[in-house]
């Protein structure tokens, strides 16, 4: 009986030590810590039980061996004499340990394989999540469609279906600096100019005319308003050097619906061009997303036609297309190093492709619903993607490995943005909140 207890205890101890080493070496990334401990302890207990059963079966078949009797008599007669195992007990002991280690190794291997091969089917609820939600901004009264960090990373501008753009402190106490009320039902985007002087807004006023508003980023006062010929403005973004503003929009033609891309001089607000890129009969046609190349020479845009088009930013001449998505293009982002594009779609994928050859490099399929937003980390290594599945996923653009899954939102995630220093992410959406958190 004593040998059985010793075998059981040692089997469990060895299993626990190995499981601890596995988690220390992997940092808990190959196997989530809680799941690993549960499964590996389970394997260890099973191994110990098998070891005990092995000895018990041997005892029942052959009777208690003379070696065990001798050891028991020796222990009873003198507590100072060391316990010794004969060949039979050592063999049972080694068989138990071998069984324990075998089950432990096999079980660990299955957990690791399952974590990689079946993550979406089996372990979707145990993926790593950001541990540090810094704060939640609750100043809006309706869905938030846009968030933009100031270039210095100290403030955030958030735009909402509540007809406001709100600017607030983003690093400490998320206190509001000012609110700009827009004569529009919804403001989809409110990006900062690269020099931090202005914030540009796009929307439709009460007379159903699409306009661009320019406000002073420091005071929140209106600087100028510029009408457009569009029916709706869905995307608005400054060029990296601040010389131009690009718009993605939908035209006013009925029954034909037309999608337009336009680029405006940010000083004179004269359009360099206003180009129709798609039209459909009765069905919606629009450009939902626009992205600039870091050198300001090209723009990429996508929408209802399921195609990403790349054109010369100044002339509007088409240079390339990317046609690997099977549904509406909702989000685009050019990597800061200028080499790659990330495109998100209603087809539930984020696709990474070469910005120079348009060759697909990888496809990320971990979301379960439409991709609404994509954003590159400043070092061009990671992509953050927000979805209608209420999550934000941060993943390695080269390998597709998920680094973390943020599940703090209770509704659709419409917008995601990395801080300029790459340490924080701001995400917002249908739940009317902006949440700022650490991805790593």
Q: What is the pLDDT of residue 122?
A: 31
Q: What is the pLDDT of residue 277?
A: 92
Q: What is the pLDDT of residue 236?
A: 96
**Tokens 């939902």 label which residue?**
288
Distance CA 234, CA 182 (A): 15
Taking 50 as the pLDDT cut, the residues of the chain under it are 23-34, 57, 62-85, 114-130
13-52 pLDDT per residue, tens: 665 566 555 544 443 334 444 455 555 566 656 666 655 5
Q: How far is CA 77 from CA 70, 82, 287, in A?
A: 10, 11, 90
229-271 pLDDT per residue, tens: 888 899 999 999 999 999 999 887 667 789 999 999 999 999 9
Sheet of 132-137: strand order equals 132-137, 434-438, 425-429, 413-418
Q: What is the pLDDT of residue 180?
A: 95
At 187, list the tokens: 């403001």
User: Are 383 and 375 a contacting pair, CB within 8 Å?
Assistant: yes
Q: What is the pLDDT of residue 262?
A: 96
Q: What is the pLDDT of residue 4?
A: 52
Q: What is the pLDDT of residue 77?
A: 46
Give, in words, the CATH class of 132-438. Answer: mainly beta
Distance CA 266, CA 380 (A): 27
Domain chopping of the chain, boundaries: 2-126, 132-438
CB-CB neighbours of 114 under 10 Å: 16
Burial environment of residue 438 by CB neighbours within 10 A (0 to 12, 13 to 18, 19 or more): middle
What is the value of pTM for the model shown?
0.70
Distance CA 378, CA 337 (A): 9
**Tokens 């209802």 label which residue?**
304
Q: What is the pLDDT of residue 368?
A: 97
């Amino acid at each position: 009986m004593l040998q059985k207890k010793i075998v059981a205890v040692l089997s469990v101890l060895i299993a626990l030590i190995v499981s601890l080493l596995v988690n220390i070496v992997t940092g808990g990334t190959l196997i989530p810590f809680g799941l690993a401990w549960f499964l590996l302890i389970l394997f260890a207990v099973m191994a110990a039980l098998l070891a005990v059963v092995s000895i018990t079966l041997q005892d029942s078949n052959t009777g208690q061996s003379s070696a065990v009797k001798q050891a028991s008599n020796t222990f009873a007669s003198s507590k100072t004499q060391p316990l010794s195992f004969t060949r039979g007990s050592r063999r049972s002991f080694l068989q138990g340990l071998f069984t324990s280690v075998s089950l432990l190794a096999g079980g660990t291997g299955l957990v690791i394989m399952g974590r990689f091969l079946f993550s979406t089917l089996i372990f979707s609820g145990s993926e790593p999540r950001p541990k540090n939600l810094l704060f939640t901004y609750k100043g809006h009264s309706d869905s938030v469609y846009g968030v933009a960090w100031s270039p210095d990373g100290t403030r955030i501008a958030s735009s909402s279906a509540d007809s406001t753009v709100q600017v607030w402190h983003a690093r400490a106490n998320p206190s509001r600096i000012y609110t700009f009320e827009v004569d529009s039902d919804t403001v989809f985007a409110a990006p900062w100019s690269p020099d931090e002087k202005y914030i540009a807004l796009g929307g439709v006023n009460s007379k159903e005319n699409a306009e661009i508003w320019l406000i002073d980023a420091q005071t929140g006062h209106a600087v100028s308003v510029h009408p457009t010929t569009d029916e709706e403005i869905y995307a608005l973004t400054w060029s990296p050097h601040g010389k131009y503003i690009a718009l993605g929009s939908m035209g006013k033609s009925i029954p034909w619906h037309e999608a337009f891309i336009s680029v405006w001089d940010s000083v004179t607000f004269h359009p360099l061009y206003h180009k129709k890129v798609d039209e459909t009969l009765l069905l919606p046609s629009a450009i939902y997303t626009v992205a600039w190349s870091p050198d300001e020479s090209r723009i990429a845009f996508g929408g209802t036609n399921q195609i990403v088009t790349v054109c010369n930013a100044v002339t509007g001449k088409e240079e390339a297309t990317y046609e690997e998505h099977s549904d509406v293009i909702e989000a685009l982002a050019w990597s800061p190093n200028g080499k790659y594009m990330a495109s998100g779609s209603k087809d539930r994928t984020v696709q990474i492709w070469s910005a120079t050859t348009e060759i697909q490099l990888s496809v990320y399929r971990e979301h379960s619903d439409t991709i609404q937003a994509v954003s590159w980390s400043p070092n061009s290594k990671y992509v953050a993607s927000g979805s209608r599945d209420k999550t934000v996923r941060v993943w390695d653009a080269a390998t597709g490995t998920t680094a973390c899954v943020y599940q703090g939102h209770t509704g659709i995630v419409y917008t995601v943005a990395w801080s300029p220093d790459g340490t924080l992410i701001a995400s917002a959406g249908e739940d009317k909140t902006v949440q700022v958190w650490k991805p790593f």
